[in-house]
Structure 1
């Protein structure tokens, strides 16, 4: 039996009662960057779930970490290169739902809204485990 859920989370960058600390992780979790997505970005650990990988990939977009984005892209769908827009300013991540994607699954999806200065991106991303490690396969853009 598979476990499915659609638990919403608080958007990144928004904390009740104040601004985010300077060392806060861009993914929206309350941990400092080094203890959260930073350990995935450096290769010290692998994301344990599809949602954790999604959050870490968002953080990599925020930080412009192209090597991490390519490393965590499925070999079957990975582009030869990735050019990020240096003027893009990501402002928050909201996880809208997840399906599967835990240590007990080989696939999973994460539906999210990533906000940027001037708009937002709404996507359902697909993830698979390759050699025990979660990777991004592809995504479907959804209407706002």
Structure 2
């Protein structure tokens, strides 16, 4: 396990949290699983079984889900795993978690996917809360490279 990163505090604004990078072998396994074609979801699921704390893996599961409600469940897991990781790395419930840092993208992708799926299934309040949280985490949301 990597060392937790401290939260950067400044007198000019909210603190910013940057999550530790995912292990290179995990990212490689995830990229390979995403190229798996017809067995893609099962291949990503096998990666998730080895790395259940990874928001990036759960976001990939949501991106490849067969239905909106299935995607909603995967994104929700990724979002909550991301909150766990943020807290473990010094986040105290507020402050920036910016897209510009690749290590934050699994969490933000999960939160964004959760917002989209919540809207699609009629959970308007949840979708709005997620969208607001995204803009609080990163005031430049949505990023151009999303």
Confirm or deny a common fold (TM above 0.5): no
Under TM normalisation by the shorter chain, which class is it? 0.3 to 0.5
Give the structure-2-normalised TM-score: 0.32
Give the structure-1-normalised TM-score: 0.33
Q: Give 1 or 2: higher helix fraction.
A: 2
Q: Give 1 or 2: higher strand fraction.
A: 1
